[in-house]
Amino acid sequence: MNEQQVQPWWKFGHMWLVFGGPAVVVVASFITLYLAITRPDPVISDGFHGQEAASVSQQAHSASSLAPAMQARNHAATGVPALSKP
């Protein structure tokens, strides 16, 4: 009779295909967690908000030039059919 030697699981190539993908994802998730903990997003300073507020006030003065765009945006947001002109 032929006796087959029992080999350990890591010597089979198809097992590395089954085990390798999830193992790579787990390692990548730990790397991502490490990066998220050690390098947090920077906090935006108050000076930026002051510049943004000034920009918004400047845009408010030119609101009349945006009237057709605002009317179209509001019409699209409400979903009310346009009135047909006779």
Range of the domain at 20: 11-39
79 in a domain, yes or no? no
pLDDT at 3: 74
| CA 42/CA 40 separation, integer angstroms | 6
User: Is this prediction's pTM over 0.75?
Assistant: no
| CA 53/CA 47 separation, integer angstroms | 10
If one counts the domains in the chain, the total is: 1
pLDDT, tens only, 20-66:
999 999 999 999 999 999 998 777 665 555 555 556 555 555 556 66
59 in a domain, yes or no? no
6 in a domain, yes or no? no
Q: What values do phi and psi take at 4, rounded to 5? A: -95, 135
Residue 1's pLDDT band (cuts 50, 70, 90): low
pLDDT at 29: 98
- Reference 39, options 28, 49, 29, 31; nearest CA is 31
30 in a domain, yes or no? yes
22 in a domain, yes or no? yes
72, pLDDT greater than 60: yes
